[in-house]
Structure 1
């Protein structure tokens, strides 16, 4: 019978994993001795509290809270001591206003095992994960929550990373699945393997549950550190900046933008070239790079100030919007809005992806999510239309009418059947700009918008069309 997870090596202790993530010597453990008493495990005496470590420290000098779950070879369920330690880390992060990083590895036990795993997901241990989930929901949009999956997360353990803002997984090592492979086979007759069902590559390419696929734990940790460098500690702070006033004359790479769009309307080009020409040092940290590649999301800086990037990618599906792309972009925009990052949108979209399957799966509702994300955002929004924005996709992709503070068009742009100059005369865009001067206009626009004060009508919360 196929098991839910196979561990070919002994994993590092949770304490060691936290130390590898944080600055050397900065980790301070919370509730260090909680659960440090002999276990009733017949396999031997083992302190159950050591399976989870929580505390605080620094990453590149910035305060963070962290917890790590790691069960090297025992497959222990989430006991009350484990729950308390995770909740302690989340509470500490909320009280101090710092990001929280969870390192997840919940061991080998199969989800259907009645001796422990089902109990840990709401049975004999009283629904311990429920309290963790509630704390994560309370922290959502208040502090950044990042998950490092360095082993198996089965059953309810898979929900915790999904509740956070970003999930990083390691190829051939990380697994997340709600139901074990042998349960699926027994109930439905569908045979599948652990990698195919819940491996890191699957979640980075098919399900969209992960945001980065790392080759090893070291690369995963470095990605998390870089990600943190673009995010503020909490929703009341601005993202960390290293102000560096830009030279507004075109730099070496920008003149290439005057010829990046092919003369043939249906010929693709790489939108990365456009995005990277606008950002400081051409550096873009992509999120979900392998999922819905017809749209690009990620972080970069302009004059040393972090910003979020959303861009159609003509190299994939001609840049059409489909269900996966709209969900990917909508969640990213809402994350940027929650943590005070301006959003730069680069538009080249021929329309929505046509198809019966897309309609049956509710593409209209999913596009409404993207509309909602742009419309509710109060951070600076700057949009550049490089080639085409046809039909409803013009409205959806950060249009001026949807709330963009500044909207520019290249001379090659067409909004529906309307050329760039006519679109400007009708007030659909603020101006027609030379492609090589795109960074110039974005820099000046973001400078002016740093003092933007946006508000929304008072309400308990909106009802986003999920």
Structure 2
């Protein structure tokens, strides 16, 4: 249903015109009608305005261009010119801080993007950058509006260009709450964080029909590009939730951990968790035997304020944990090996996941804490042929390029190139600590003894006994807990129970850190 436009009546008073305006605004707010709203709800989806109301603080939303309509003609469009043109744009607050938002209204043209629709998005994106405030997009659209042809495609180009220029300047969050197909999928891919809801949201470049026509493969929308697929397999989605209410509440939580822009620090929160609280539980939680597994998430829960943290990409590349949290009230990014998955070894996906997280934290002035328990890079033909060298270099580049405060702690083992890559002192970590159980070496004692003492073992009457003796000798000479500290490669060996206090004190000292990078247009990171 298209809201009527008040006709010009010369004798109408300002009071009459104002009444007409309020009636028109209410008509626009109600949208295309009850039937369309019921259809949206039947699909398990909220309307665009309901989503905006959930995202923003109560009563804070100011809408921009609610009366905008398309000017296209032909192909049936001239008969239907609804206000908003299928996208709601504006600004409001989340926890009292300004946030810009746009939300596709699937009830109008299926949320498809046309020229006027795109122009509204371009304007709100420009205003977000100018105001230095985060931008949240609520995606639920059927792609480009076919009836508008190249004008719709150009509209997407304008969005992508703005996504790119705003990258690292303001936080950009994409929330996929319905279809997001074809070119539309590239905007979320260009943003800092992607949220999805299970069962109703999908992202893909080519849909199931095209896939079947070209490859013969039969696949459902959910199996091709659903939330679980992108959260666990492709890594496109950072967070996946069962319902929109939970999803949008988590978006609000994420925004509370991010600064408004790259010129500000994240907001500090009052900390009721004692800074000097001992973490005695870590003694029993982390086995001293490097071959035994444990859950690194339990370590994080011991260290951070009130045990609360937001894990990013929780289901993708589970052998590394990336999380946003607070230490002493200060927002901190944590990167930690996960011994409970692949023994914490680094592989292609883990390197990419951590590299992206490090870059995001660095862009928005979020200090980094790295917790090491890494046996090395995952061996295998698939890893080598898949480019583990290239992908591992992405993580190395991200850390080396980061100028935010960086503190690392070696919990147990830290072997080979993986130790270097995981923010070792040699690549620029500001402070490095180790627990008394640390083993920092080129490789594990078993492998090292087989290489270094190969001839002695082969010539011995009892090779197994000789190998065991050589392993102990290597451990005692080159892998004892204080070897790295004696050479200044770690700043101190600390009591595990004091890790929280040490981290908070270190980050507090580094809060005013300033680092200059060489003058350049931009770096050229590994591809």
TM-score of the superposed pair, with normalisation by structure 2: 0.82
Distance 1:68 1:387 in 2: 47
Q: Which range moved further: 60-69 or 262-271?
A: 262-271
Distance 1:457 1:140 in 2: 20
Task: Give the length in aligned residue pairs.
Answer: 451
2:499 equivalent in structure 1: 438
Is 1:35 aligned to 2:69, yes or no?
yes
Measured after TM superposition, the shift of residue 274 of structure 1 is 1.5
Pair 1:65–1:261, CA change in 2 (3 A):
same
Measured after TM superposition, the shift of residue 316 of structure 1 is 0.4
1:200-225 deviation digits (Å, cap 9, x = unpaired): 00000000001111110001101100
Q: Which range moved further: 266-275 or 27-36?
A: 27-36
1:153 equivalent in structure 2: 180
Is 1:308 aligned to 2:337, yes or no?
no
Q: Secondary structure at the match of 2:333?
A: strand
Distance 2:166 2:196 in 1: 22
In the alignment, is the contact (CA less than 8 A) between 1:374 and 1:398 conserved in 2? yes
Question: Going by fraction, where is helix more abundant, 1 or 2?
Answer: 2
1:21-59 deviation digits (Å, cap 9, x = unpaired): 111111111122111779867496341634111111101
User: Over aligned residue pairs, what C-alpha RMSD do you find?
Assistant: 2.1
Q: Secondary structure at the match of 1:150?
A: strand
Distance 1:246 1:125 in 2: 52
Q: Secondary structure at the match of 1:105?
A: strand
Q: Which range moved further: 376-385 or 256-265?
A: 256-265
Q: Secondary structure at the match of 2:141?
A: coil
Measured after TM superposition, the shift of residue 196 of structure 1 is 1.1
Distance 1:390 1:435 in 2: 20
1:247-285 deviation digits (Å, cap 9, x = unpaired): 45444xx10112222243211001112222111111111
Distance 2:188 2:304 in 1: 30
Q: Which of 426, 429, 444 is the aligned partner of 2:490? A: 429
In the alignment, is the contact (CA less than 8 A) between 1:39 and 1:47 conserved in 2? no
Pair 1:26–1:37, CA change in 2 (3 A):
farther
In the alignment, is the contact (CA less than 8 A) between 1:295 and 1:329 conserved in 2? yes
2:515 equivalent in structure 1: 454
1:65 equivalent in structure 2: 100
Structure 1 residues not aligned, in runs of 5+: 1-5
Q: Secondary structure at the match of 2:240?
A: strand
Is 1:180 aligned to 2:207, yes or no?
yes
In the alignment, is the contact (CA less than 8 A) between 2:288 and 2:412 conserved in 1? no
Pair 1:220–1:229, CA change in 2 (3 A):
same
Q: Which of 50, 54, 63 is the aligned partner of 2:89? A: 54
Distance 1:85 1:50 in 2: 9
Measured after TM superposition, the shift of residue 77 of structure 1 is 3.3
Structure 2 residues not aligned, in runs of 5+: 1-38, 442-477
What does 1:218-257 correspond to in 2, within 5 Å?
218-244=245-271, 247-251=274-278, 254-257=279-282
1:70-125 deviation digits (Å, cap 9, x = unpaired): 22274353111111111111111000000000000013x7x8xxx818x66xx463
1:92 equivalent in structure 2: 127
Distance 1:364 1:219 in 2: 39
Pair 1:333–1:193, CA change in 2 (3 A):
same
**Over alpha carbons, which structure has the higher Rg?**
2
